A and B are shown apart, each in its own frame.
Chain A
C-alpha cells in the first residue's frame, strides 16, 4: 500500500520571464572646481547738506583807490548833471508810446480749470496766484450752510507752466475737514499758502515733493466776536489795515496798538487794534481793500449792493457811492491802473469801472459777459481778468 516514493524536483524555464543580466559598473564625477573670491561691501557714508539763503556779498568792502575815484567823478559829474537837467526839461518823448503791432483788444480765455471730483454742490470760494505767477490755487467749499459744515472742502493747485498741465486734473488736491472759504499764497515763498475754513481753523500748508503736504500750523479761532469777512493792509503804512465785518462795519486797525484786551490766544495776549471806523454799510461787507496806488483810498463793497470809495481824511462819509443792480461777489483795485476798479457779480459778469471824477460820475470802460458755468464760474473769470489786465495795463 505505502511504497517509498522519492520526489525529484523538476524545474522548467519560464516562458515569459527572462533572466536579468547583471553587470557591475561605476561612475565617477569630474572633479568639482571650486574657486573662492572675497569682496568687500563699499562703505557708505551719509552726508547732509543744508543750503541757506545766500546773504548778498557786502560790496562796500571791496577796495578802491579814493584818488582815482575822486578824479573820475570830477571828470564825469558835470556831464551827468547836464544830462539829468536836460532829461528833466526835455519834451522829446511827450505823448510818445511804443505801440506793438499785434496788440489784441479782445479777450482771450486762456484756461478753464475744473476739478473733476468736486461735490455737485461745491463752488469756488477763493483763488490766489503764487508769488512766481505760475501756480494758481483754488479753494472749494459750499455757499449754503444750514448749521455746522458737513462738507469736505479742498484746495486744488495747478501749475500752468508745466508741460503736463491738465486743466481738468489739478496737480495736487489738499483736502480739508470743512469748507475752505479763503485762500492766500505767501508773498515771497511760492510753496506756502494759508487757507481758512468754515469751522474757524486756518492752516499754513507747505507744498513739498511728497503727496501729502505738511500743515505747518493750525489755529482755531474760538473767541466769538465780530465775524471778519475781509482784511487789507495799507500799501504805504504797513501797520495800518482795514477790516470788513459781517454787520457792515468797516474798522481801521493798527498793528502797533498797545492796549491789551485781556483775551489770550495761543499764550499770546491779544491787543485791541481797532482805532477808528469808516461809515458802515447796511449789509455784510464783502470786500474792503486799500488802494495799491494811493495811501488814503479805500474801496468797500457789501451785500447792500453798494460800492463805496473812502478817503481816510474823511472817514465818516464816503467820497463816492455806486449802486449796483445785481448782487456783488467781489471788488478789487487794479494793480496796474490807479483808476480802474474791477467788480465781479454773482451772475458771472466782470465789470471794469474807471473812476473819472470824484463824485457820482463813473464811466464804465467795458463789460464782459461770461457763460454761467455752475461749477467754476470764478476760474474762467480770473483767467479773463488776467488777460484783460494785461491788455489794459499801461
Chain B
C-alpha cells in the first residue's frame, strides 16, 4: 500500500520528469526488495532440494547465521566450527602466497561432504550426503 500511495502522489504533486523519476525509483526499490527476498529464498530452496543435500546455512561477516534450513542448535554448532576452520584455511592459502585467496573449501567425512563458499560479506555452507 505504501507503494501505491507513492505512485499516486507522483501524479498529484509534480509532473516534472525528475520528481516522477525519484518517486518511481522508490516504488521500484520497494518492489525490488520484495523480489530480492523471494529470490534469496528460492535460491536457498533450489540448493536444499538438490540431490543429497542435508542442509544449507548462510553466515554473515560476523559469524552469525542469517539463513538456515537446519534446526537452531545444529546451525549454531556448524557455524561456530566451520567459521574457525575457514579462517584457518584462508590463512594457509594466503601465507603460502599473499596474492592468492581461498575460493572454496570442501570437507569430506565418511558420512557427509561439507562445502564452504567464503566471500567478503557472507559465507555459504552446504552439507551433502556422500554417495558411498
A56 to B72: give the CA distance in the assembly, Å: 7
User: A83 touching B115 by the CB < 8 A rule?
Assistant: yes
User: B128 touching A72 by the CB < 8 A rule?
Assistant: no
User: A93 touching B117 by the CB < 8 A rule?
Assistant: no
User: Given A68-B121, A72-B122, are A84 and B108 also a contact pair (CB < 8 Å)?
Assistant: no
User: A81 touching B110 by the CB < 8 A rule?
Assistant: no
* Interfacial residues of chain A within 62-107, with CB under 8 A of chain B in the complex: 62, 64, 66-70, 72-77, 79-81, 83-85, 87-88, 90, 93-94, 97
A84 to B72: give the CA distance in the assembly, Å: 24
- A163 close to chain B: CB less than 8 A: no
User: B124 touching A87 by the CB < 8 A rule?
Assistant: no
A11 to B45: give the CA distance in the assembly, Å: 141
A160 to B50: give the CA distance in the assembly, Å: 45
* Interfacial residues of chain B within 59-77, with CB under 8 A of chain A in the complex: 60, 64-68, 72-73, 75-76
Cβ contact of A76, chosen from B51, B75, B117, cutoff 8 A: B117
Q: Report the interface size for chain A: residues with CB under 8 A from the other chain.
A: 30
Please indicate the chain A residues that have their CB under 8 angstroms from the CB of B76 in the complex.
Answer: 56, 59
User: Given A76-B124, A77-B47, A87-B113, are A93 and B132 also a contact pair (CB < 8 Å)?
Assistant: yes
User: A80 touching B52 by the CB < 8 A rule?
Assistant: no
- B94 close to chain A: CB less than 8 A: no
User: B43 touching A59 by the CB < 8 A rule?
Assistant: no
Q: Which of B17-25, B31-39, B84-92 contacts A (4 or more CB under 8 A)?
A: B31-39
User: B65 touching A84 by the CB < 8 A rule?
Assistant: no
Name A87's closest neighbour in chain B (CB-CB).
B113
Name B29's closest neighbour in chain A (CB-CB).
A67
- A3 close to chain B: CB less than 8 A: no
Cβ contact of A73, chosen from B44, B51, B131, cutoff 8 A: B44
- A223 close to chain B: CB less than 8 A: no
A80 nearest CB across to chain B (Å):
6
- A60 close to chain B: CB less than 8 A: yes
A21 to B51: give the CA distance in the assembly, Å: 126
Cβ contact of B60, chosen from A62, A77, A83, A394, cutoff 8 A: A62
User: Given A87-B130, A394-B110, are A81 and B47 also a contact pair (CB < 8 Å)?
Assistant: yes
Cβ contact of B52, chosen from A79, A88, A394, cutoff 8 A: A88
User: Given A81-B47, A84-B50, are A64 and B126 also a contact pair (CB < 8 Å)?
Assistant: no
Please indicate the chain A residues that have their CB under 8 angstroms from the CB of B119 in the complex.
Answer: 72, 75-76
User: A80 touching B66 by the CB < 8 A rule?
Assistant: no
User: A64 touching B60 by the CB < 8 A rule?
Assistant: yes
Please indicate the chain A residues that have their CB under 8 angstroms from the CB of B104 in the complex.
Answer: 79, 83
User: A69 touching B128 by the CB < 8 A rule?
Assistant: no
In the complex, which of the residues A58, A66, A76, A83 has the most CB atoms of chain B within 10 Å of its own CB atom? Answer: A76
A60 to B59: give the CA distance in the assembly, Å: 11
Name B50's closest neighbour in chain A (CB-CB).
A84
User: B72 touching A64 by the CB < 8 A rule?
Assistant: no
User: Given A59-B64, A93-B132, are A84 and B43 also a contact pair (CB < 8 Å)?
Assistant: no
Name A56's closest neighbour in chain B (CB-CB).
B72
User: Given A56-B72, A59-B66, A62-B64, are A88 and B117 also a contact pair (CB < 8 Å)?
Assistant: no
Name A60's closest neighbour in chain B (CB-CB).
B66
A97 to B53: give the CA distance in the assembly, Å: 22
A342 nearest CB across to chain B (Å):
23
A394 to B132: give the CA distance in the assembly, Å: 13
Name A84's closest neighbour in chain B (CB-CB).
B50
Please indicate the chain A residues that have their CB under 8 angstroms from the CB of B36 in the complex.
Answer: 66-67, 69-70
Beyond A66-B37, A83-B104, 11 additional contacts (C-beta under 8 Å) are A59-B65, A69-B40, A69-B58, A69-B67, A70-B39, A73-B43, A73-B124, A80-B126, A87-B128, A87-B131, A88-B51
Residues of B within 8 A of A (CB): 32-33, 36-37, 39-40, 43-44, 46-47, 50-53, 58, 60, 64-68, 72-73, 75-76, 104, 106, 108, 110, 113, 115, 117, 119, 121-122, 124, 126, 128, 130-132
Between A and B, 20 residue pairs with Cβ closer than 8 Å are A59-B64, A59-B68, A60-B66, A62-B64, A66-B36, A67-B32, A70-B36, A72-B124, A74-B43, A76-B117, A77-B43, A79-B117, A80-B124, A81-B46, A83-B115, A84-B128, A88-B51, A88-B128, A88-B131, A97-B110
